[in-house]
Each structure stands twice: as structure tokens, then as C-alpha cells.
Chain A
């Protein structure tokens, strides 16, 4: 299995759940093991570019697959805009749901760069937060979308400036 760009090979029991493989076998404890009933979404990570509640998948089902966890969001020391957004807009308090929220937020923005509030709420509707009342999480995701749009505008302006000079 490839996790955050690194290949791992382990021999495991077929009944081992993906969340426990990632946390206990690989030591990547950023993904949280929450309700154990596929309701809360704390354990959301990506398998083959799709978010999944990893307490409801066997590690064996991800054999040969590509997994991305919250540890794989940051690149070269730079936080992903969704991580930055959660800092800027106070999108977390206790932090338990955060890794799952971040992974779903990244997936949403990859597929839908300009979501409105209702679309953000729908996207995270399978995830529970007991601290924020969701308001700040929605703002954080929107912040990341706005930042991406600003970057795109800046890049376009740079290109335009380059063409005229």
C-alpha cells in the first residue's frame, strides 16, 4: 500500500480495519478512530483519490492502493490551504474531527473549487463536530476556496503582466 507517497508492505490479518492499520501498524495517528460505526467521519482518509470512512474498510481491501491521510496534506513544509483556513477561521476546538474534516474539505475543493455554504454543509454532512457548531468549519473551507481563487487571479495577473512587458 502506498501511504502519502511512501510504499509500505505489512502482513496483516484480513479482519484488520484500515484505520487501525494506518494508526497502529504505520504509526500515522493524525487520522482519528471515533465512533467505530461509520457515522462520525473522524477517520476519513482517501483511498485511491476518494474519501472513505476508514473504520468501515478492511486494510486488505486497500492492498495495492494509494492512501492519503491528513499527514499527506502539507507539502514541503507548506500547509494546505484547508489547513491554513482552519487556523485562520478557528475551525477547530478539540481537534478530534479535524483530520477527517480536512480530508473531505480538500476533496470537495478539488472537485468543486467554488462551493456555496449549502454545498459545503452537504459535503461534510456525514461528519460530526461537537465543538464548533459547524459555523467555523464552513467558514474555514470557504476561506480556503477564496484563497485558491485569489491565487488563481494573481497567477493570471502575473501572466498578463508578463505578456505586456
Chain B
């Protein structure tokens, strides 16, 4: 029988209340709890105080605000999977959410919790890294914004400090982009053996589109900040075709640092990174919605 160690429990009645509680040392936020509570049961986490933020409805939103998709930290995985506006602008989130845990867990687990748990095999961290999202972190005297690519300090460690709370994630919406996420896991609901997310912004003629910018997120393979930066740099300015994607995929596989474990040896994981990166790039390119003016011009 797995039982957490002794812990105090407080239910936050508002964001300010949560922030004041979070100023205490050895305090953890609990929302969905589907990562934290198992870790507490294994005594890998032994907080002295849990601050339950499930009642903070003001953090449970998904909305398009100008040229940003804003996702509240308390949005559940199931909410993001069901969100038409998120799926329209970023199919990568729907791809990823379909393979996060299982349908029951997705009803409870939150977007903010996934990022803050900072598991090195987590899917949304790679998806948000690929989309170059920004984390909004609240504290009693204001807020600060941190690019998701600088949010994780290492496994299970983030920049969110004492007295702070991740409030939302903002994703820049740009015309002419497409995105996709590809994951290999051993069974339903399992962590990735490897996974790759891609965002492509294309311009120019449809028969020979050029890559304006590329975002590639990787998870479970030791990619720094969940990003394949060298592959992104390689793609910028190139033609969006099979040749470019294959070369970028090879670069991504070369520059990550997978660890051999029960999910497979290192060379197998590098092979997966190359294959999944190429597939994600291909699918992202296929999904690019071209601006209306471009279609008229043709």
C-alpha cells in the first residue's frame, strides 16, 4: 500500500490566496494531482503543504486573444483536446493530447501541471517548445513572462520559484503555419519512447514553398529545453521538401542525448527521433493553411 507522508492541505480560494500560501517553504501546488500524488505515494515528493488550486476557475480557460492563443494553467488535457480554436490554429496540441496518458487521466490532469511537473518525457513541454510559447508566472507583486524554452531547468525543475504560480501559457498565432506531433510509446497511456513536434511557417509559391521559420520539439530523448535547435536553424530559408526534412531529421537525431533504458537502446531512440521528426515536419507542411491573398494570386 502506497501512502503519502504527512502533509497539510489548504484549498486556495483565489489566485492571491494561493500565492500567499505558496510563500511557505516545502509547499507544492496540486491540481489534477496525477503526477504529484503518485510521486508523494512513492515518497519521491514529500511536501509539507499542498495548495489545492482546483477551485480557481479564473485559470481554466482556452481563448484566442488577438494573435495569441491563451491557455490557462488549470485547463485540463481533455479541455485542450476538445478545444476547436486550439485545434484549428495548432493541430499539434490535439495530436499530442490524444496520446497524453488515457481519457480518464486527461479529465483531471492540467496543462500547467504537465509543464510544472517537468518530467523529461512529458509531451506538452515539447509541443509548447515547438510553438515557441511563453509561460506567464504570477506572484503577489505582479507577474513575469518566461519563454517555455527557458522554463525548464532540468528534470523535475522549473523556473517557478517560491511564492510563484504558473498562471497561463501564451502561444503566438502566425498565418501560414502548420503543426503536428508524432509519438511512439509501448502501450496506450505510456510515456514516450520518443516523440517529436513540429511547427512550420511557410511562404512563397505553393509548388516550392520556403520555410520562414521552424520549431521542433523533442521529448524523452535528452534534448536541451525539449528543442532540436540545430535542425531548426538548418531548415530556416530552405525549400519545404522531403530532402530538407530528411536532413533536418538526421540533425535532430544527432544532437539529442537519449539514454538507454528499459524503453530501448540509444541507437533505437535516435532512429525514432529521425523518423518521427521527418513525419512531424511532413505533416506540419501538409497542414499549412495558406493566406487567402496567396490563393487569390494563384
Residues in A lying within 8 Å of B, measured CB to CB: 13-15, 17, 36-39, 41, 44, 50-53, 56-58, 60-61, 63, 104, 122-123, 125-127
Complex contacts, A58 vs chain B, CB 8 Å: 9, 30, 33, 37, 50
Residues A15 and B7 in contact, CB atoms below 8 Å apart: yes
Cα-based distance from A39 to B105 in the complex (angstroms): 9
Task: Give the residues in chain A near B33, CB-CB below 8 Å.
Answer: 56-58, 61
Which residues of chain A come closer than 8 Å to B2, judged between CB atoms?
36-37
The contact sample of 17 A-B pairs, CB cut-off 8 A, is A13-B6, A14-B7, A15-B3, A15-B4, A15-B5, A17-B3, A36-B41, A38-B38, A39-B189, A56-B37, A57-B33, A57-B108, A58-B50, A60-B9, A60-B52, A125-B103, A126-B188
Q: How many of B's residues come within 8 Å of A, CB to CB?
A: 29
Question: Quick check: B189 and A126 within 8 Å, CB to CB?
Answer: yes
Cβ–Cβ contact B101 & A126, under 8 A: yes
Annotate B258-282 by CB proximity to A: 1 below 8 A, 0 otherwise.
Answer: 0000000000000000000000000
Q: List, in ascending order, chain B residues with CB within 8 A of A36's CB.
A: 1-2, 41
| A125 with B5: CB separation less than 8 A | no
B1 in contact with A38 (CB, 8 Å) = no
For residue A44, which residues in chain B have a CB less than 8 angstroms away from its CB?
104
Q: A14-B9, A58-B9, A60-B9 are in contact. Are A125 and B37 (CB under 8 A)?
A: no
Chain B contact residues, CB within 8 Å of chain A: 1-9, 11, 30, 33-34, 37-38, 40-41, 50, 52, 54, 101-105, 107-108, 188-189
Q: Contacts A15-B5, A15-B6, A50-B108: A61 and B54 contacting too (C-beta < 8 A)?
A: yes
Contact (Cβ within 8 A) A126 B8? no
Minimum distance in angstroms from B28 CB to a CB of chain A: 12
Given contacts A14-B8, A104-B104, A126-B102, contact A37 B189 (CB under 8 A): no
> Contact check: which of B41, B54, B105 meets A126 at CB < 8 Å?
B105
- Which residues from chain A contact B102 at a C-beta distance below 8 Å? 41, 125-127
Contact A51 B38 (CB under 8 A): no
Would you call A14 and B50 a contact (CB within 8 A)?
yes
A123 touches B103 (CB 8 A): yes
Shortest C-beta distance, B257 to chain A (Å), equals 28
- Are B103 and A57 within 8 A (Cβ)? no
A13→B104 CA distance, assembly (Å):
26
The A/B interface has a contact count, at CB < 8 Å, of 72
Other CB < 8 Å A-B pairs besides A52-B107, A57-B108, A58-B37, 16 of them? Answer: A13-B6, A14-B50, A15-B40, A17-B3, A17-B37, A37-B2, A38-B34, A38-B38, A51-B104, A51-B107, A53-B34, A57-B37, A60-B9, A61-B52, A122-B103, A125-B102
Residue in chain B with minimal CB distance to A14? B9
With a cutoff of 8 Å between Cβ atoms, the chain B residues found around residue A41 in the complex are 102, 104
Give chain B residues whose Cβ lies under 8 Å from the Cβ of A122: 103
Query: Which chain A residues lie closer than 8 Å to B11 at the CB level?
Result: 63
Name the contact of A52 in the complex, choosing from B6, B40, B104 (C-beta under 8 A). Answer: B104
Of B6, B104, B188, which is within 8 A of A53 by CB? B104
Q: Are A53 and B105 in contact (CB under 8 A)?
A: yes
Q: Of all chain A residues, which has the CB nearest B37?
A: A56
- Expressed in whole angstroms, the minimum distance between the Cβ of A110 and any Cβ of chain B is 13
Q: How far is the CB of A115 from chain B (nearest CB, A)?
A: 12
CB A48 to nearest CB in B, in angstroms, measures 10
Output the least CB separation between B11 and chain A (Å). Answer: 7
- Using Cβ atoms and an 8 Å threshold, which residues of chain B touch A51? 104, 107
Tell me the bound Cα distance from A57 to B54 in angstroms. Answer: 12
Set of chain A residues within 8 Å of B52, measured between Cβ atoms: 60-61
Q: Which residue of B lies closest to A35 (CB)?
A: B2
Chain B residues within an 8 Å CB radius of A104: 104
Give chain B residues whose Cβ lies under 8 Å from the Cβ of A17. 3, 37, 41
Whole-angstrom distance between the Cβ of A134 and the nearest chain B Cβ: 12
Shortest A130–chain B CB gap in Å is 14
Q: How far is B38's CA from A44's CA once the two chains are assembled, in angstroms?
A: 16
In the complex, what's the smallest C-beta–C-beta distance from A132 to chain B, in angstroms?
17
